[in-house]
Amino acid sequence: MSLSMYLLRRLILAVPLVIGISLVAFLIANLVPTDPMAANLGERAAADPQIVAAFRARWGLDEPLYAQYFTYLRNLLQGDMGTSIRTRRPVLDELLRYMPATIELATAGILVALIIGIPMGVASAVWRNRPIDFVSRILSLIGVSAPVFWLALVALLVFYLRLRILPGPGRLDAVLAAPPNVTGLYTIDSLLARRWDLFSNAVSHLILPAIVLGAFSAGLITRITRSSMLDVLSMEYMTTARAKGLSERTVIIGHGLRNALLPVVTVIGLSYSNLLTGAVLTETIFAWGGIGRFAYDSARSLDFPAIMGVSMLIALVFVITNLIVDMLYYILDPRIHA
C-alpha cells in the first residue's frame, strides 16, 4: 500500500470519528444539570422574565435539543461554529486567537522534551546502572512527578525574580506590541516582519513556560526511550552489527535508536496532543493567553458554543497528531507497507 493510499484511508476513518465526538461533546455539555442562563446572566437579570426570554432566543436555547444539534452541525459544515455566549465573539475567531499561542508553547515544550528526553534515555540505557543512569532516572522522576504549579512558580522565582536572566509572564514584554498577525505565532511572525527585537523577546518569554510544560513529557520520553533502548540493545542484530565492525556510534544510533524509536514516537505524539490541549495551569501562571485557559473559562460558564468549538478542535488535534504518528510509523517500520 502506498503512503498516499494509507493516508487517505486514515483520513476517511477520521470523518465518523469527528462527527461522533461532536455528538458526545454536545450531549455531555447539555447533560450538565445546570442552566447556561444562570452562568451568564446576573442575579437580577436572571430574575427578569423578559431578559431571560431575550437571552434564550438569542442563543437558541428555546429549541429542542436535537434541533439545536442539527443546527450546530449544519452551521459547522458552513464553517460557522457559532458565537460564544461568554465573550460574544465568533467561536472560530476565538479559537484562531488562542490556538496559535498554545501551538507555539506546546511546540517549544515538546522540543524541550525531545532535546532532553531522547539523549538522556539513550545515555541511560547505554550506561545502565552507571552514575549517568541514576542522574537521568532521578531527573525523569522529578519531571514526571513535580506539580506544574509548583515548578512554574519556582522557575519564575529563581530565573525571573532572583537571577533576572529570563523575563516574566506573558508572551512579550508588556510595553512591546505584537508583530503583524500572519500565523499568530509570535516567533514566526516577528521573523516574517524582520523584527529581530521582537523575535528574541518572544523566544526569551518562551523559555521558562516551555521548560515547565515540557518537563513532564521530558521525563516520560526519557523513561520510554531508556526501556525501549534496553530491549533493543539485547537483540541479536546488535551483536551482528558490532561483529560487522561498525563503529559503536553507528551501532547505537543507526541500529539501536532507530528500532527503539517506535514506542517513543507514540509517546511523543500523545504528549504533544496533551501539551496542545492540557496546558491550562502553565498558561494560567505564565499569563499565556492560550486555548487551555479559554477551554477552562468556557466550561466554567457553560458556554456551549465555545465548549463545542474547543471539543472539536481537540478532536482535530488528536486526529492530526495520530495521523502524523502513523505516517512516522510507516516511514520507520517497513513491515507496515505490507
Partner 1 sequence: MRRATLLVLVTLLVMTAFGGAVAQEERVLVVGLSEDFHRLDPQRAYEPGGSLIHKAVYDTLVTFPSDSASEILPNLAASWTISDDGLIYTFILRDDVVFSNGDPLTAEDVVFSFNRMKNLKDNPSFLADTIASVEAADEHTVVLTLTQPDSAILAKLIFDAFSVVNAEQVRAVGGTDAADASTTDTAELWFNDNSAGTGPYVVESYEPTVRTILVRNPNYWGDAPYFDRIIVQNMPESATQKLALEAGDIAISMDVAPDQVSAFEANPNITVFSSRSDTLIFLLMNQDPEIGGPLSNPRVQEAVRYALDYEGLRLLSGTGTETPAAMVPIGFIGAIDPAEALTRDLDRARELLAEAGYPDGFTTDLRYPDFNYIGTEFGLVAQKVQADLAEVGITVNLVPEEFQTSLDAYRAGQQGFSQWLWNPDYHDALDYVEFLPAGVVGNRANWTDENADPEILALRDAVRVESNLDVRNELFRQIQLYEQESGPFAPLFQPGVHFAFDSALQGFNYNSQWRVNLALLSY
Binds partner 1 (CB under 8 A): choice among 293, 308, 317, 330: 293
Q: What is the DSSP letter of 6?
A: H
Q: What 3-state class would DSSP assign to 247?
A: coil
Per CB under 8 A, the list member of 82, 171, 213, 255 interacting with partner 1 is 171
Please identify which residue in 22, 81, 82, 86 interacts with partner 1, judged by CB under 8 A: 86
Q: Which is nearer to partner 1, 128 or 300 (CB)?
A: 300
Q: What mask of x and - would describe binding to partner 1 in positions 186 to 225, judged by CB under 8 A?
A: ----------xx--xx-xx---------------------
Extract the C-alpha cell encoding 187. Answer: 516567533
Verify binding: residue 88, partner 1, rule CB under 8 A.
yes
Helix (H, G, I), strand (E, B) or coil at 249: helix
Half-sphere exposure of 38 (CA within 13 A, CB side): 5
For residues 24 and 311, give the distance between their C-alpha atoms in angstroms, rounded to a whole number. Answer: 10
d(CA 187, CA 313): 23
**End-to-end distance of the chain based on CA atoms, in angstroms?**
7
- Cα gap 257→250, rounded to integer Å: 10
Could you tell me if 53 and 41 are in contact, meaning their C-beta atoms sit under 8 angstroms apart?
no
Contacts with partner 1: how many residues (CB under 8 A)? 56
8-state DSSP, 156: I
Q: Does 146 bind partner 1 (CB under 8 A)?
A: no
- Residue 56's CB: how many other CB atoms inside 10 A? 15
Output 218 or 241, the one with its CB closest to partner 1: 218
Residue 160 binding partner 1, by CB under 8 A: yes
Residue 48 in contact with partner 1, rule: CB under 8 A: yes
Task: Pick from 5, 161, 243, 338 the residue near partner 1 by CB under 8 A.
Answer: 161
Closer to partner 1 by Cβ: residue 86 or 226: 86
Contact residues: partner 1, CB under 8 A: 32-35, 38-39, 41-48, 50-51, 54, 58, 86-89, 97-98, 153, 156-157, 160-161, 164-165, 167-171, 173-176, 178, 196-197, 200-201, 203-204, 284-287, 289, 293-294, 300, 302
